[in-house]
Structure 1
């Protein structure tokens, strides 16, 4: 596979088909004929060397490999849109738009609280926010398609500058009528034999959860894992288990029908505010970095700033 042969038209067609779910709809959305969309997808599949789509008559869905590829395509296309916006701003001498990439937990909680506390005069007219995985946040910052990133740990990339990093303890979330809903804390003994709802990515928060459970001899009866905290919260509300989650999504997207209970042992959720190494920071980016730190300290209970460079 050779990336240099990828045609942007192919990637746009593929993105539209996955987003809309049909060749006809994708053709209509991007102003091309259906045969052209079909050919672009076929050429892209020949280039990558694997099937991107399942086809069953008019019904189309991405393959597992197609879904993984789609995430990267969206990051790439978002970067192209950012370049186009900035080129337009340069041409018209308008203030440059700002691109912020953040993991969902921070994109839905700390970031909105931060922006709400900043004077509109200190922000550009256009602010684009991407809620994406930590890996893609780092990729966007290093590629300089994002001016600012909020990424969870682990974070070890020489292309990023860490401005400050923070830690907060995970909590348990249960349905309001769950037997443990009224507890002041939930202990390891109370988790044993329960069904647990946890993060899916084995290299990030899931790793912290597994290490803490093992250290406290907690063996779950069964496990449901998912890639988004708000899904874990919904599963807990339906009494499908005890969710162990970072508390930021709960703060930003409060959900009725659940109760948040502290754990008696520590499972840290860590994140950092990052920019590209050597990239001059605009006044707006610097304002957000500093204001976000102040907002985090005032709004997030039990927060620890484990490193501060600015």
Structure 2
């Protein structure tokens, strides 16, 4: 199985990335440096995570050439609109210490003000045309959001990053992505978001996943990441512990059987762990994104 995926514009991207969602700024740089030492070459961050500057510091200190790292970040809803999104690019690249991005995406669909969403995406199209970003995309877009965006814009998103793990597989979103040639990218790929919602022990303690792990002498997290990869998805696990960072990357030398993949597929509960994209508004989730 390839370790890279090809986006709909021909750009290649490492299938497994390293995420820094809910990683506090004081530990972000160390975690990203650990990931780069381990072998990760795809880093995912976002303006709303408030740790882009620390990601940039880690990249600078790592000694890894910028051209060898696929760098992905997101525009927060407070910066939607055409000019706002262009300025969001300036803020992001300043913090990250780079003059280009490999993937720049809208963080939420903002359905209550979708005209602003479309205007922000037009800005991403401009950045793409100007060569400042290599690919553009979206995050947390449901099928109806994708349909409207595609109808009102020119460039089909390369990626749709959504909550996706064995307990929440979003088949309708995946089908809509596939119909448009959009790569589905999983955030919370091992179901960690369920802990924040208080929904029990979560996927890491699931007996089916644990049983498959024993058959391969692998951890539940490794089994779930391998499940994503065998489905042809991108996955971006997070951790701040070096041993977990290394463990999550060690998933390319074994394979699940078709029966094992199918056994994980049917664990879906249909219950979202993170916030409903329809509930995200600037009134409730808006926040000023710092310049530096």
TM-score by length of 1: 0.27
Q: In proportion to residue count, which structure has more strand?
A: 1
Q: Which has the larger radius of gyration?
A: 1
TM-score by length of 2: 0.29
